[in-house]
Each structure stands twice: as structure tokens, then as C-alpha cells.
Structure 1
Amino acid sequence: MLQDLAGSGIILLIAVALGLLILSWIVPIRLWVTAIASGVRVGLGSLVGMRLRKIPPPRIVYPLISSYKAGLPLHTNELESHFLAGGDVERVVNALISADKAQIELPFRQAAAIDLAGRDVLDAVQVSVNPRVIQTPKVAAMAKDGIQLIATARVTVRANINRLVGGAGEETILARVGEGIVSTIGSASSHKAVLENPDNISKTVLAKGLDSGTAFEILSIDIADVDVGKNIGAELQTDQAEADKRIAQAKAEERRAMAVASEQENRALVEQMQAEVVKAEAEVPLAMAEAFREGNLGIMDYMKYRNIQSDTQMRRSIAKPPEGDKDA
């Protein structure tokens, strides 16, 4: 009997302990006491409602305490709605506190919108107070005299709170500054003029208003380094000369091929004519024999023809140079 009572008592104690644990989780008494002690009035019903809405009460109460201590009037409904929208409540509250200390006007709705847009609103406030220096990569450009210059610049920017939502980021700033450097160097008459006054690059680029449409305001552009690169103009002229040379060689090869083809064609014509002459000469004896048979050619005429042939051969042998003279 006593054992049954002891077992029932233990079960009851365990049930009570579990009930108290569940109650303390549902009703965060310690968090409520902390809020009351900090001067923030948050009802137990509100804390229980946060649990039911699957909102961790510390994620709302602690930022609310921080804002209250900083003198910023915020309400739990605003923080809860921002948390449910996927925002970072603590970061937004810290940004509001930093903006208030720096005397920067930043309403809660604007800070929440910046945070939901994916930007770090706290970092934006800090960059607005302490401008950031970003360095461009090496930018290569060619002056009008054909000399290449390689420049790097340091850009001092300050965040523009009003353009953080929808404004372009640092990559756009760097791209625009690089484009401005290329344009300024390219319009210079000589690379020496750029080396003598590199500050003209920063003045020209800064006057173009490159920060329009971005989330930053450009305060200054300083040329950090300018190096002399290749002589692009000379390389282009060399490449052009080489290209002209190849074109001329190709045309000469084309003319040589045409000449060889023409020579071969003429040689074929000569050979064809020689073949026709040989063929015609082969028909001469037949024609003479036919003339003898028909009585159209007498013996005296034949002898005169032979004499003419002998005389022609003699003249050819006289006109032909000796073999020794030919070799000489």
C-alpha cells in the first residue's frame, strides 16, 4: 500500500515538474521580469501570443529593450511583423540606434524596407557616418600617341540612405570609374600629359556624376598609381606592316602561279603546233609521190626542191653557234 502511494507521489511530482517546464516555456516569466525591470511594459499575453505565432520572444523583447534605452519609441507589433516578413529585427534596431546617434533621419519603415531588400542596413548607416574607400582594379587605357597607361584609383563613397532600395552597388561604381578613366586617358593627346597631371583624371571622372542611380555618393576619386605599359601604337603599326607584307607575298605568289600556268599553256600550244608541223611534213613525201604519178612534178622540180632543202640546212648550221661558245 505504501509502495503504491510512493509510486503515485513520484508520478505526480514528475507531472507537476513537466507542467511547470511547459508553462515556463509557454509563459517566459524570466523574460517578462527582465522587460519590466528594464522599463518596457510587455504583457504576459503578448509573450504567449508570440509563442503561438512561432515567434521567439527574446528576438523581439531584447531589441525592444535596446530601443527603449536609446529613446526610440517602437512597438512590438512593428517588430513582430518585420520578423514574420523574414527580416532581422536586431540588425534593424541597431541601425536605428546608430542613425539616431549620428543624427541621421531613418524611420523604422524605411530601415525595415532596406533590410528586406537584402541590404545590410546597419552597415549602410555605418558607411553613411564613416565613408568607405574602395579601390578599382588595374585599368588599362591608351593615349592618342599610342602609349598604354595602367591606372588604379581609390574611390571614397558614402552610403545614401534614401537610395539604398533600388540603387546600384559598389560594382557599378567601380565599373563607371573604370570607364571614366579609360575615356579620360584615351582623350589625352600624349601619355606624358597624363603622367604630369594625374589629378586631371580624377577631376574629369568626378565631374561626370557617376553616382547617379547608385546607393552611394562619391566624395572623391584619387589616382593611386599610373604605370606606363606597352607601345600599342607601334605594335599596331608592326602588325599592319606584317599584314601588308603577307598580302603582297600572297599577290606575288598568285602572279607567279599565273605566269607558270601561262607558260605551261604556251608550251602546250607550241608542242601542239610542232606536232601539226611534223604531221604536215610527214604528208609531204606522199604528196610529192602523188604529184610524180599524175605528172604534176618533174625531176628537175624535185632536184630544185632538194637543193633548196640543202641550202636551208647549211644556213642553219652556219647560224648555229659552236658547242664551246654555247657553254661559254
Structure 2
Amino acid sequence: MTTSTLLLLVAVVLGLLLLGLLFTFVPVMLWISALAAGVRVSIFTLIGMRLRRVIPNRVIIPLIKAHKAGLGVTTNQLESHYLAGGNVDRVVNALIAAHRANIELSFERAAAIDLAGRDVLEAVQMSVNPKVIETPFIAGVAMDGIEVKAKARITVRANIDRLVGGAGEETIIARVGEGIVSTIGSSDNHKKVLENPDRISQTVLSKGLDAGTAFEILSIDIADVDIGKNIGAILQTDQAEADKKIAQAKAEERRAMAVAQEQEMVARVQEMKAKVVEAEATVPLAMAEALKNGNIGVMDYMNIQNIEADTDMRDSFGKLTGGNKEDKKDG
């Protein structure tokens, strides 16, 4: 192999390597596709995207779709949205859907909705095709104490202008539930709710529950109504049981006080008996002291003994007479 041939081979290899690097770093095929679609994009713009760490395919393909749909979207707008962390393809699809449905939606608003974390394409689709939100069974108590359970179907449409900062489906469900509870609670009789369930939907719908939300309520339909527990009877039963327990507690308190008073009286009687016994124990000593000092004579002492014996005898006769009278009554 001659030197010229070797140099030619090296030049061919280096050329292939340069072409490979060029086609790898510069999306030539994407640039050709854009030109074929009528989108004027400079090759240096694609190289700049590479340098800015932007995947050109994520920007140019949506740009081609927007151009074919007749949207005036620029490369800088799509690239800035990509750099901000947004989904460029979804935003362009939403703009195309809104344009086809004659819904006014600018790129700035669509990008803001997307960066806010909401699905802008789904919001546009919901504006065209309303969504039905079904609530769980919501229980309310009528004035007669009967619990009424109602399930509602809420037809909502996305409000593009309030998607950024507007409340979501949970708020709609909570507000409708509050309206159902208040409507049932203001009914005099649960039968009225069962006879006219549309009264609930009309009352709730007239309250403007979609204020501050990302949706517009189109209709509220009562899907099912059911009877629950007799809350009034349960409350009355619980109150009666509570009153019963209170009365029992008060009666037990009075009984305990009576027992305490009785025990106190018994203690006082025992104390008085103890004092009497103590006093009686001092009588013989006093008698002996009186005899010793000559305050009383022997005959006086004997008279006292006779009087005590006579008293004991009368007590014995009285007890015997009382016992015979009780026996006669029992007979």
C-alpha cells in the first residue's frame, strides 16, 4: 500500500468521523423535516438548543404541529416553556384542541396552566365535553329526627380562566355536600325530601357553589335518596338513659348520706352510753366517800338500795306485761 493510498484512507475515516459527530450533534434530519413542513428554523438555532441542553425534537415536532394547525407559536416560546419544566407537546395539543373548538386560549395562559400542575389538554377537553362528578352518600337529618341519605351527580365544565388558582373537585364535592345537608336539615318532614328530591338540587344549584373553583357547575342531579336511622329517637333514648344514670347516682348519694348519718348517730349513742357507764362507775365510790365522811348514814344507804331493788322489780314487771300483750296481738 502506497503512502498516497494510506493518506486517502485516513482522510476518508476522519471525514466519516466528522460527519458522524456532525449528525450526532446537529439534528440535520430534524432540520430537513422542519423545512419540508414549511417551518423556517435555522441550523444554528438547533445547535444553540443543543448547547442550552434542550432536546430539539421536544420543541421542533410540536412547532411543526402548531404550524400545520395555523397557530402563531414561535420557537422561543416553546423553548422557554421547555426550559421552565413544562410539557411542550401537551400545551400545543391543548392549543390545537381549543382552536378547533373555538375556545379562546392563549399560549401564555396554556403554559401557566401547565406549569401550575394541571393537565391543560384535559381542561380543554372538559370544556368541550363536561365531566360528571358523583358524590358519596351524604347524610342529613330532617326536623322530625329522621336521617336522609342522598347521592348527587354534578355535571361540571372546566373554566379556563380560573384554572390557575381555582379550587378542585374536592371543593365542589364538599360544597355540594354542605348544601345537601342544610337543605335536608331545613325540611320539616323527611317525607317532603322523598317526595321532591329535585328540591335539593334546585336549592344547592342556586347557591353558586362554583365560585372560586376551576369549574362551572352545569347541573346537580339527585341520583339516589335513602332513609337512615331515626336520629331523634336515638337521641331521646340516650337522654333518657343519661337522666336515669343521673337519678341513680343522686339516689346512691342520698343513701350514702343516710348511712353516714345513721353511723354517726350510733357512734354518738355509744359515746353517751360509755359516759353513762363511766358515770355509774363513780357512784359506788361516791357512796363510799359519803359513808366515810358521815354525809349519809347506814339507813340512808339501805333505803337507796331498796329503792333501786323496787325500781328493778317494776322494770321486770313492765317487760313481762309488754311481752304478754305482744303475744296476744300475734295470736
Query: Shared topology, TM-score over 0.5?
Result: yes
Q: Look up the SS of the partner of 2:279 in the other structure.
A: helix
Mapped to 1, the partners of 2:59 and 2:258 lie a distance apart of 95
Q: Look up the SS of the partner of 2:104 in the other structure.
A: coil
Give how far 1:244 is off: 1.1
Give how far 1:55 is off: 1.1
Distance 1:308 1:41, change over 3 A: same
Residue type at the aligned position of 2:43: L
Give how far 1:301 is off: 2.6
TM-score if structure 2 supplies the norm length? 0.93
Distance 1:316 1:41, change over 3 A: same
Match of residue 173 from structure 1: 172
Structure 2: any 5+ residue segments left out of the alignment? none
Match of residue 44 from structure 1: 43
Aligned residues: 326
Q: How does 1:292-303 map to 2 (within 5 A)?
A: 292-303=291-302
Percent identity over paired residues: 65
Mapped to 2, the partners of 1:131 and 1:217 lie a distance apart of 9
Residue type at the aligned position of 1:29: V
Mapped to 2, the partners of 1:303 and 1:177 lie a distance apart of 108
Q: How does 1:173-212 map to 2 (within 5 A)?
A: 173-212=172-211
Give how far 1:318 is off: 2.8
Give how far 1:192 is off: 1.2
Distance 1:13 1:310, change over 3 A: farther
For each residue in 1:127-178, what CA deviation from the matched residue of structure 2 results, as whole angstroms up to 9, or x when unmatched?
A: 0010000011221211111111121111000000011111111111111111
Match of residue 268 from structure 2: 269
Residue 122 of structure 1 pairs with residue 113 of structure 2: no
Residue type at the aligned position of 2:129: N
Residue type at the aligned position of 1:277: V
Give how far 1:256 is off: 1.3
Q: Which moved more, 1:69-78 or 1:208-217?
A: 69-78
Q: How does 1:1-328 map to 2 (within 5 A)?
A: 2=1, 12-320=11-319, 321-322=322-323, 325=327
Distance 1:4 1:210, change over 3 A: same
Give how far 1:43 is off: 1.7
Residue type at the aligned position of 2:134: Q
Residue type at the aligned position of 1:148: E
For each residue in 1:264-286, what CA deviation from the matched residue of structure 2 results, as whole angstroms up to 9, or x when unmatched?
A: 11111111111111111111111
Structure 1: any 5+ residue segments left out of the alignment? none
Mapped to 1, the partners of 2:211 and 2:119 lie a distance apart of 20
Residue type at the aligned position of 1:239: D
Give how far 1:228 is off: 1.0
Give how far 1:193 is off: 1.1
Give how far 1:64 is off: 1.0
Q: Which moved more, 1:43-52 or 1:111-120?
A: 43-52
For each residue in 1:18-65, what CA deviation from the matched residue of structure 2 results, as whole angstroms up to 9, or x when unmatched?
A: 221210122222111111111212121211121111111111111111
Mapped to 2, the partners of 1:232 and 1:45 lie a distance apart of 76
Give me the CA root mean square deviation.
Answer: 2.1
Distance 1:289 1:12, change over 3 A: same
Mapped to 2, the partners of 1:177 and 1:112 lie a distance apart of 31
Q: Look up the SS of the partner of 2:153 in the other structure.
A: strand
Q: Which moved more, 1:265-274 or 1:32-41?
A: 32-41
Q: Look up the SS of the partner of 1:141 in the other structure.
A: strand
Mapped to 2, the partners of 1:26 and 1:218 lie a distance apart of 51
Distance 1:262 1:11, change over 3 A: farther
Residue type at the aligned position of 1:86: G
Residue type at the aligned position of 1:140: A
TM-score if structure 1 supplies the norm length? 0.93
Distance 1:296 1:173, change over 3 A: same
